[in-house]
Homo-oligomer: A and B are copies of this chain.
């Protein structure tokens, strides 16, 4: 990895660029599972970046479950995103998808709690309809990403606060892109994955229907957190 320079792009954080370029090497197979990454010092020098930039990139790789740190011996590649994922999207899209899910955890967690307290009867019906469509779309020829987005929009609307649905709308591009990829992987992947995705949505809908604000917020944040892990993990059923 040492012979490479950071290709600097305008208007993008250095930490993000470095993250993307290490991720590219993992995807390309230049860095394989179990391989040790260069030390922080070596990365600083190889890419001509400061230590905080290196730490930020490593922290993000860590949070995405791509590398692991064994105390006292360094940082190692933990897993490689699936070939399916890397055929479907570019590296910068993967970073964008993960970033988008991070925002949604705060935003939609709050919306789900409020929906449990305020949803009207027709709003609850729309949530359940979207859930039924999502369930069907895994067996049909339908497109799960649309049903998935419809579910999350229905929850946002049921919060009784129009700002939630509006902000979600602004994220709809990256969200639907990410869902398309994640659910594409899920369908290609296995029945196990599809089952888990459906169960997570069911837990959200149940908690909203029961009027349990704490459980609804928890179920939504748990689902988005797991989705984040599913993006980078093609090997296993999450």
Q: Does A13 contact B (CB under 8 A)?
A: yes
Chain A residues 155-178 with CB under 8 Å of chain B are 160-164, 166-167, 170-171
Q: Which residues of the other chain, B, contact A108 by a CB distance below 8 angstroms?
A: 106
Asked if A121 and B71 sit within 8 Å, CB to CB, the answer is yes
A192 to chain B, nearest CB (A): 9
Mask of A110-151 contacts with B, CB within 8 angstroms, 1/0: 110110011011000000000000000000000000000000
**Bound complex: CA of A83 vs CA of B117, how far in Å?**
31
Q: Which residues of the other chain, B, contact A113 by a CB distance below 8 angstroms?
A: 214
Asked if A111 and B118 sit within 8 Å, CB to CB, the answer is no
Q: Does A210 contact B (CB under 8 A)?
A: yes
Q: State the number of copies, please.
A: 4
Asked if B118 and A110 sit within 8 Å, CB to CB, the answer is no
A14 to chain B, nearest CB (A): 9
Asked if A226 and B203 sit within 8 Å, CB to CB, the answer is yes
With A65-B210, A226-B203 already in contact, the answer to whether A13 and B71 are too (CB < 8 A) is: no
Q: Does A107 contact B (CB under 8 A)?
A: yes
Q: Which residues of the other chain, B, contact A72 by a CB distance below 8 angstroms?
A: 50-52
Q: Does A199 contact B (CB under 8 A)?
A: yes
Q: Which residues of the other chain, B, contact A56 by a CB distance below 8 angstroms?
A: 118, 120, 160
Q: Does A80 contact B (CB under 8 A)?
A: no
Set B15, B68, B171, B203: member contacting A160, Cβ < 8 A: B15
Set B65, B105, B166, B203: member contacting A110, Cβ < 8 A: B105
Mask of A191-217 contacts with B, CB within 8 angstroms, 1/0: 000001001000100100011111100
**Bound complex: CA of A117 vs CA of B64, how far in Å?**
14
Binding stretch for chain B, among A24-32, A95-103, A179-187: A95-103
Q: Does A225 contact B (CB under 8 A)?
A: yes
Q: Does A37 contact B (CB under 8 A)?
A: no
Can you offer 16 A-B residue contacts whose CB atoms are under 8 A?
A: A13-B162, A15-B118, A16-B160, A52-B71, A55-B71, A102-B110, A102-B114, A103-B107, A103-B161, A103-B167, A106-B108, A167-B170, A206-B229, A213-B214, A215-B225, A219-B225
